[in-house]
Structure formats: C-alpha cells, structure tokens
A and B are shown apart, each in its own frame.
Chain A
Amino acid sequence: MEIPYTVTARPDTGLYNAKVGIWLFLASEVMLFGGLFSAYIFLRLGATHWPHHILNVPMGLFNTMVLISSSITMVMAWSSLKMRQFSSYRKWLGITLFCGVLFLSVKSVEYKDKFHHYGIILNSGQEITGHLAMTEEEAIHSDVLKIKPDPENAGDFLFQLKSIFSKPEGEEKVLEIPKKEIRWWSNFVPKYNTYLATYFTMTGIHALHILGGLLVLGYFWGPGAALYRTNPEHLANRVEVAGLFWHFVDLVWIFLFPTLYLF
C-alpha cells in the first residue's frame, strides 16, 4: 500500500502531504507561543512593577544574528539539495547545525549568569541587585550578606558588552547587609519575580524547540541523508519541511528578543 502525494504534489492543492502537515503543525505552534505571549501581556498589564535591563542585550543581539544566519544557511542547504549538489548541502546544513549549537551555548551562558546574579529586598522595600562577594554556602549560613552591587550603568549596552569579555569595572566596594534588615533575597531564578518566570518559561520552551530542530536536522545531515541515493526529491522535501520548522523557531526568537530584552 502506498500513500499518494508523499513525494509529488497533489495537482489541485500544489502541495505534498508533509508540507500541509507542517503548516498545520506550525499553526498549532503559533497558538502555543500565542498562549505564552498573551500570558506575558496579561501579567505585565496588571503588574505594579516590571524590571528592565536585567538581561544582557549584546548577548541576545548576537544570538539573534546567529539564528537569522542559520535560517539563511538552511535555505542554502535546501536549495543545494534541489539542485542535487550533495556536498554543498552537507556543508550548509553543517553550518546551520553549528549555528543552532552556538545559540544554545550562548543561551546557557546567559542562564548561568542569571543563576549567579542576586537580588536583595530590604525591609524598607528597596531592592539591591548584584553579585555575592562570598560563596553561596557562606551566604546561606552567615548573618551578614556581602554583595557587590551592580553599578549604575549596568543596563548600558557598552557596559554589558564589556562584561562579556572581562570582569565589569564597576564599583568594587562590597556592601555588608545584616540579614535582619533583609526581607527576602535570592538569585535570579524563575521564582524571583514574574518577569524572570516568563523569561525562563518562554526562552526555555524556545530552547527545547531549538534542541528538537537540531535533532531532526542532525538526522538529515547524518543517517537520514542516505535517502539521497534512492530518492533525492523525497530528501529535499523532508529537508524543506524541517527547514520550515527551523524558520518558525527563528521567527519566535525574533519576537522573544525585543519582548524580553528590549521592552
């Protein structure tokens, strides 16, 4: 038994099955991220306070570039396959994979950075953010928190850019705050505030999508590419469909970046 239109297009729709399938799937993905984005809007509209400049904009910008490039190389990979240039296909898809891995690496550096960034809310309601001047273990048991507060210009683009490559040359003074003056302190985990909760949830789900895309593309770069010998058009179709998913995930990031980093 053979299912019609797996490789060739149905004449009246002009599409092969998988292409219809992926567009429908992407429609559902739009609704999935739509749910998250509407939650973001809903919560932000109701919030009394919304933090700004917590994230590292140069890093996010770099990652945006990485993903846009990967979309371009994705198209190159597919068009190489359409023109039956197999080695060129391998090369372009390889670059796409590299970009995806690079994106995830940068993202994990950003995550790690957040987990080492602390915020302290004093009994007066004032919030101090910065890095601990002691180990976490010490901080939990000590009566005093020693913290190097973020400098005033911590939100500046240039400051953030420098902070990626060297230790930020801010004020080196260490604040010592007795615990009894502190209402609450924590590192920047999802629980810290609603903003970070949305940040980690949305970028986390996006990162899972990138990971899924990498697995699929990796398969078509490696074992799945064997299909080229028997049915190159089928492989081209599969790569096209995977590519559509990849572009979609990029597009989601293009919405996430301004939403979380800039606004």
Chain B
Amino acid sequence: MDSEMSMTSQAAHGHHEGHEEISWIRKYVFSTDHKMIGYQYMVTSLFVALFAFFLMVLMRWQLSFPGKPIPIFGPILEKLLGSSMAPGGVMTPQLYNSFGAMHGTMMIFMALVPALFAGFGNFVVPLQIGAPDMAFPRLNMASFWLFFVGVLIMMVSFFVPGGAAKSGWTSYTPLADFADMGPGFHPIFNGQTLWLIGMAFNITGSLLGSVNIITTIIQLRTKGLSWMRLPVFVWSELVTAFLLLLAFPPLESAAIMQLMDRLFGTSFFSPEGLIINGKHADISGGGSSILWQHLFWFLGHPEVYVQILPTMGIVGEIFANNTRKPLWSYKVFVYSLLAIGFLSMIVWAHHMYMTGMGQAVTSFFQIFTTIISIPSVLLGTVLLLSLWGASIRFNVPMLFALAWLPMFGIGGLTGLPLGWTASDVVLHDTYYVIGHFHYMMAPASLLALFAGIYYWFPKATGRYMNEFLGKIHFWPTFIFFNGIFFPMLVQGFAGVHRRWYDGGAGWQMAQNVLWLNQVMSFSAWALAIAQIPFIINFFWSLFAGKKVTDDNPWQATTLEWATPTPPGHGNFLHPVAVYRDPYEYSVPGYKQDYLPQWEPDERLSKEGKLSQVPF
C-alpha cells in the first residue's frame, strides 16, 4: 500500500473508529490512543508531584522547627509508619532521609519527566505532526503501565519494615549497597531494593516511550512537514527522547549491578575492608563507588536536560502564539536544542569534582560544562528577542511562559560557579546547589508545565480554563517559588549543608541565616495553598468551563489545532498536509494575522495542491 492509499484509507476509516463501541476499560484504562495515554501520564504524574511536594512540605517543617512535633500530620505519620519512624509526631532522621530521597526520586523520575516528556509528548506530538496515532500504540500502552508499576512500587516501599530508600535520589554507594540491611532484613522487601526495582520498571517504560516518540517523529510526519518545518515542541521532544534512549540504559545496568551487590554479595560498588556495624562486611571487595557515580551521572546529568528541554519547546510554542510573530530565529532555536542535547551527554562528571579526578579529566568537564551555556543562552535570547516589538497577549499560558524565562536564567547562571572546580569546592553539597537545581526543576519546569496545561487544555477537553483563577494561581506561585529557592542560595554561601536534618541549627556559622529557614518554609506552605485555585480550576473547567467554539481557539498555526475539539480516535477528519513554516504569524497581505501550516493559499504559496506537496 502506498502512502497515498494509506492517507485516504485513514480518511475513510479514520473517524469511524471513534464511534465504534469500545469497552470502558479499553477506552480509559488499557487504552492505545495516544491522547488517552497522554492524559494518563499527566494525571498520574501530577498526583505523584503533589505527593512528593507534600513530603517536602513536611521536611520544611522539620528544618524550621527541628525536633518539634509536626502539627496535624505528625500523628497521622506516627499511625501510618509506626512510632519508630515518627515518635510523638516528631520526624526522625531516618524518616527525614527517606522523605528526602523519595522527594527527589519521585519528583524527577516520576513526576516531571513523565509529565513534561511523556504527558505532553504523547498528547501533542502526534497531533503536531499530523499523525493518526503514535507509531506503536500498544507499546505506548506498555510504557505507561511499566511506569505506573514503578510508581506503585515506590509508593509501597514506604510501608516495608525500615521504610523507603534513604540514600538520596542519587542512591550513592557504598551507603546504598548496605542500606536497610539491619536486623529483620528481607532481601526484596526493603526500601533500597524496592527503589532499584521500581527504577528498573520506570527506566524500561521510558526507554520504550522514547523509541516510540522518535519513530513517530521520523516516520509519521505528514506530507510537506519537512524537518525545518517541525514545531519547536516536536524538536524538543525528539532531542529529549534521544537523551532518554541513550543515557538511561547505563543506569539500568548500574541498577542491576547494585541489585547483585545487595542480593548476592558481589561488590561492584564497594571497596575491600568495609566495616559495617562493627563487623567486617561479607563481600568479595575490589569494587568502586566512583564507578556508581559515573554510571549514575551519565544518566543523571542528561536527565536534568530531559526536564528542561520539553519546557523550552512548550515556551517556544506559547511565545510564538502570543507574540503573534514568528520566533525570532527558529533555526538558532533548533540547533541550540540539538547542541544542548549533545553536550549534555559529555558533562556528567561535573557532579564529581570532589571525588579526586585528575586535572586533565576535570579540565575537560569544566570546559564542556561552560560551553553548554552558549546554546542555552542562545535559546534564551531567541525567546527574549521574540518579544521585541510584539503586541503580547497576556493570557494565562503566556504569563507562565514569560515567568519561565527569568527563572531559567537564574537557574542557568547559578550553575556556572558549580561548573568550575575552584568555586565548586566551596559550594559543593551546600544549599547553594539545592537552590541552583531547584530553580531549573521547580520554577522553570513547573511554570512551563502549567503553561502547557493552560495552553492545550481547550484542545484536550473542549473547554477553556478560567482566566481569573489562572491569574490568582500564577502570581502567588511565581512569587513563592522565589521565596523558597532564593534564600537557599544565600544559605549556601553560609555553608549550610544540603543534608542537615536540623537545618543548620547545630552549626555556629549558620546562625545568621537560620531565620531564612522560616522564610522558605512559610513560602513552601503558601505555595501549597496557591495550588488550590489550580486544582479547583482544573476540575471545574473540565465539567463547567467556558466551551470552545472554534477548533483553533488561540488562533495558532501548528497542526494540532486542525483537529476537531477534542480530537477523536484517529485525530484528523481529513488528510492534512503542511505548506509552510510553523509560525507564520502576521504575514503581510494576508486576511488574518495567522497563517496555519495546513492552509493552502494560492496567492502566498505556489504549492497549492496536495499532490504537489513533497515529502
């Protein structure tokens, strides 16, 4: 069957499929429709984010008021996790550690990446490239369920004896090799082992997902959608998918080796002569913890770009749409994405300056860490200059996207001192590091996440989200994000260590900055309250929001707005073709201020007919 036939058959059968009776469970649970899988990813990861955020809120209580019982939630924790974990509602160091580890793990691997990469990726990418679905719909379903099982395993691990993993989200060895191995140790049902197993599920799911996304983008682009006509979000997803595809497997092999260490007494990551609990560790010896760090950060570094790259795509889409002009330089944007993707794979050891690597190796990683700021700044410049001379529409998605820009700037610039050994030696493992990466992970990633939700909500549901509620969600969120993370940078300069259970109270030098703990904690609780309008808005709009009257409510140019709202199974009613670049806004001489990619216009384009559009 040639492509023309597949196009017509898709048109002929395409929309019928949507009307066929599908059982409830096939439609909403074991769905193979990319949009439903996108929703599943989004909803699951938003719940995980809320849960992991909640862990942080409790930890912030402990940091502000060390050793004091937590009001309201303390007794609940004591009941749920036992009095050894939270006696009298007071958080124990073990509980604090496991909350810290799980907050990091869940936020990064099970909330942000699934939401930004898989949630938006699944929903938006096939629509933006004019495809009927992902290339492998059943594999897509498998990816989601593997991820879901991973999440369940992580959640369950709170309730095994000894509690959830405590070795941080990086699971550093040899600590992680021997964690939870006290009396009553069960080989499988202990926090650290379940962490490894949960991660293995999560990794496998994201691997299959990235294979699917890349294949979809390569193979299912519709007629006329050449590479340099792809919307920037599709580009960002493509680069992200390649990072996940190539960087995650080494961590999977590392996880397998750590499982061997924990279950079979091998010592890939533990040196000889370890004394644990006063006893000589019963292992063969000869391993190296630095090996774990290399394998972990070979993923861990690209992983942070896995979160920030899709946000760049989302922000690019929203900027182009709401400035009503083409992105200032589409090609610079795209090549910057590619450069960042490539460079992120060769800078991982800048997390390891303190391990005593040689000068030559350190120089290599310093140089490339610094070089990576060039495409990042280019990218920010593209967005900034896109605002030049624009009559900006300040709707809610645009507010969030605009706020992304300075947050990304702060996050990026605070990274530079950590990329150079001289300053890193001072700042390593202080709250400065926490402040730096949270600016990327929390304000930047989450603001773009919200921007994307507000932007694509009308397409997904057929209803707008409320603008007013959106604005009272936006302002406190933006302010309190900074209230939490900016003081961290200050505390870091005072040398407050990132893992101190008492928030620095026991350290003389930190006394001047201790009051900031309360600023941060109050900001965190205020941020929690600021999410209530969003939650109300989300569910209220789902059922009672203002109805969308046009398939293209934002007057956008990219292909996802050419579908019915909400799109049925098979997406497009007619075969679509693409005639021009993605962001043709305010084209001189055209009847309206946007010229969609799918609209043939004899006057502006020579390629009028579908059959003339080249691949």
Contact = CB atoms under 8 A, between A and B. Distances in A.
Contacts of A34: 249-250
A43 B249 contact: no
Interface in A188-222: 189-194, 197-198, 200-201, 205
B220 A21 contact: no
A197 B250 contact: no
A190 B286 CA distance: 13
Given A33-B253, A201-B266, A1 B10 contact: yes
A35 interface: yes
Interface in A5-20: 5, 7-8, 10-13, 15-18, 20
Interface in A34-62: 34-36, 38-39, 42-43, 46-48
Contact of A1 (B13, B257, B266, B284): B13
B100 interface: no
A140 interface: no
B268 A39 contact: yes
Nearest to B283: A191
A24 interface: yes
A20 B218 contact: yes
B291 A24 contact: no
Interface size class of A (residues with CB under 8 A): 35 or more
Interface string B534-550: 00000000000000000
Interface stretch (B68-76, B129-137, B440-448): B129-137
Contact of B248 (A3, A18, A28, A43): A28
A48 B273 CA distance: 14
Interface string B221-249: 00000000000000000000000011111
A25 B211 contact: yes
A46 B270 CA distance: 13
Nearest to A202: B253
Interface string B189-217: 00000000000000000010011101100
A5 B4 CA distance: 11
A42 B294 contact: yes
B253 to A, nearest CB: 3
A28 B295 contact: no
A25 B212 CA distance: 10
A257 to B, nearest CB: 19
A10 B135 CA distance: 12
A169 interface: no
B219 A10 contact: yes
A83 B569 CA distance: 37
Contact of A2 (B132, B215, B288, B295): B132
Contacts of B265: 190-191
Given A39-B291, A194-B285, A201-B257, 13 more contacts: A2-B10, A5-B220, A17-B135, A20-B214, A21-B211, A24-B210, A24-B214, A28-B245, A33-B253, A38-B250, A39-B268, A194-B266, A205-B256
- Give 3 nearest A-B pairs by CB, closest first: A35-B253, A35-B250, A1-B570
6 contacts: A8-B6, A12-B615, A13-B219, A28-B249, A29-B249, A35-B249
Interface of B: 1-3, 6-7, 9-10, 13-14, 17, 131-133, 135-137, 139, 207, 210-212, 214-215, 218-220, 245-254, 256-257, 260, 264-268, 283-288, 291, 294-295, 298, 569-570, 615
